Amino acid sequence: MSADFTIDEWMCAALANTIRDGEVVFHGFGSPCATIAMHVAKRTHARHMVLVEGSTYALDPDPAFVPPTSNDWSLMRRAVHVLRFEELFDLAARGGVDRMFLSGGQIDPHGNTNVTAIGPPDTPKVKLGGGGGGCNLSATVGTLTLWATRHRSGRTLVERCDVITDLGYVTPTGTRQELGFPGGGPEWLVSELGVFDFPDGRARLRRLYPDVSLDEVRAATGFELVVDPGLRPL
């Protein structure tokens, strides 16, 4: 059966499975996998989730397709309502968003992510797009599902981010508790090779995709790979 699915479909399913019914869920822009995962969850095990689109802030829309840009009316089709920019961000700031999908050009074992720059942020070697709302959102949103589609490149999961754009569990300045942030931090990290959870605030490999070996994951991971003793395939 598994051969019938593409890796993208597996990833979307894995992302969808991180959503619990009744949650208020939001994704960042430029996140087609997260968009699809949210719509899959809403149509299967999480019918009572509150689905907020990542850039239109449309509430529970029914898009006919996923466009190549996230601020598009196609993602508002048949929406109950379109929230204001302010309403979504305020909701998240007061702890009213339960889950957010975030990605990163770099992700460290504490779940910090970097979408700002490779190299120094003011004089970068590679200027990445930027964090959008993630920096603030990662501090206050209930739980985060991180995702990465280029784990295999070996440059994504790194020991240390060149810049921290979005917060994981601990930064050089302190833990999220020490910094006074109510958000719970990353719960899952879904890559195209496997799924990590964060017991004690550190990434631990918990699931492998079919046809992916532990050695492949270890080779592609820039930090020491901690493996769940109960590791099994997805």
Tell me which of 43, 80, 224, 233 binds other proteins, using CB under 8 A: 80
Contact mark string toward other proteins, 26..65, x via CB under 8 A? ---xxxx---------------xxx----xxx-x----xx
| Adjacent-strand bridge partners of 232 | 207
All residues at 6 or more sequence positions from 150 whose CB lies less than 8 Å from its CB, including other chains: 156, 192
Tell me which of 91, 144, 190, 203 binds other proteins, using CB under 8 A: 91
> Is residue 12 near other proteins by the rule CB under 8 A?
no
Which is it for strands 143-148 and 174-175: parallel, antiparallel or unpaired?
Answer: unpaired
| Adjacent-strand bridge partners of 173 | none
Q: Are 79 and 124 in contact (CB under 8 A)?
A: no
**Cα(202)–Cα(171) distance, integer angstroms:** 12
**Cα(221)–Cα(218) distance, integer angstroms:** 5
> Is residue 137 near other proteins by the rule CB under 8 A?
yes
**Cα(109)–Cα(58) distance, integer angstroms:** 33
> Is residue 184 near other proteins by the rule CB under 8 A?
no
Tell me which of 1, 3, 6, 173 binds other proteins, using CB under 8 A: 173
> Is residue 67 near other proteins by the rule CB under 8 A?
yes
> Is residue 98 near other proteins by the rule CB under 8 A?
yes
> Least distance (Å) from other proteins to the CB of residue 7?
16
> Is residue 89 near other proteins by the rule CB under 8 A?
yes
Tell me which of 163, 189, 193, 205 binds other proteins, using CB under 8 A: 163
Amino acid at 160: R
> Is residue 68 near other proteins by the rule CB under 8 A?
yes
Nearer Cβ to other proteins (30/216): 30
> How far out from the chain centre does Cα 174 lie?
22
Tell me which of 44, 130, 224, 233 binds other proteins, using CB under 8 A: 130
Could you tell me the two tokens for 163? Answer: 């810049």
The single residue listed with the structure tokens 């699809």 is 36
> Is residue 122 near other proteins by the rule CB under 8 A?
yes
| Adjacent-strand bridge partners of 190 | 147, 195
> Least distance (Å) from other proteins to the CB of residue 205?
26
Site size toward other proteins (CB under 8 A) is 79
Give the side-chain half-sphere CA count within 13 A for 213. 3
Tell me which of 17, 18, 140, 143 binds other proteins, using CB under 8 A: 140
